Amino acid sequence: MTTRHRPPDHEKRPAQAPRPARMTIPIGVGREAREGYEVTAPARLLRTWRLLSAMNAELHADDADEAGAHRAAMMFNVLLDEVARSVSAPLAAEMRALFPPLDEHCGVAGARTACAAALGWLDGLMTSMLLRFAQQGQRPAERARPVRSR
């Protein structure tokens, strides 16, 4: 006869930490808001932004070579997929139209250009997201109103 040994209550595995609630952050006003421009995974997008920033710094270092450009091109394509997974469909479509995947023969200059352009676009998206975070902490009367040109 086989019996199973059950550990006492104090030896049970610790409970997993609760997963944070899923957060969606609307981006933009006007047309962008109406078309559903949203960040659906802000933590993933933030990590991807930091990785792209680090890759951009490596590409602009003095010792960047063709092998590094090849690795950067492959990483660039992975990071673009991560961005697409982190945003709504309209933003993902915009990103794919602006930044096609890099091929393995793009060279240092091509990788630098693509990385810097994608980083600029992502910087704008991150700024919009952070502004939305800042507005959430304010009462409606304190929120910044759009400036209208005369």
CA distance 69 to 49: 19
The pLDDT of residue 147 is: 47
What share of the chain has pLDDT > 70, as a percent? 74
Continuous segment of H or E residues that includes residue 49: helix 42-59
Instruction: Identify the CA nearest to 72 among candidates 30, 35, 119, 27.
Output: 119
For residues 39 and 86, the answer to whether their CB atoms sit within 8 Å is: yes
Residue 26 pLDDT greater than 70, yes or no: yes
Instruction: Tell me the two tokens of residue 50.
Output: 């930091």
The torsion region of residue 112 among left (phi > 0), alpha (psi -120 to 50) and beta comes to alpha
The answer to whether the pTM exceeds 0.85 is no
Mean pLDDT of 131-140: 72
pLDDT in tens, 55-83: 999 998 888 888 888 999 999 999 999 99
Query: In which band, very low, low, confident or very high, does the pLDDT at 143 lie, cut at 50, 70 and 90?
Result: very low
Mean pLDDT of 26-52: 85
Least confident of 4-8, 56-60, 113-117: 4-8
Mean pLDDT of 44-65: 92
For residue 25, the SS3 value is: strand
Kindly report the backbone phi and psi dihedral angles of residue 26, in degrees, each rounded to the nearest multiple of 5, phi listed first. -65, 145
For residue 38, the SS3 value is: strand
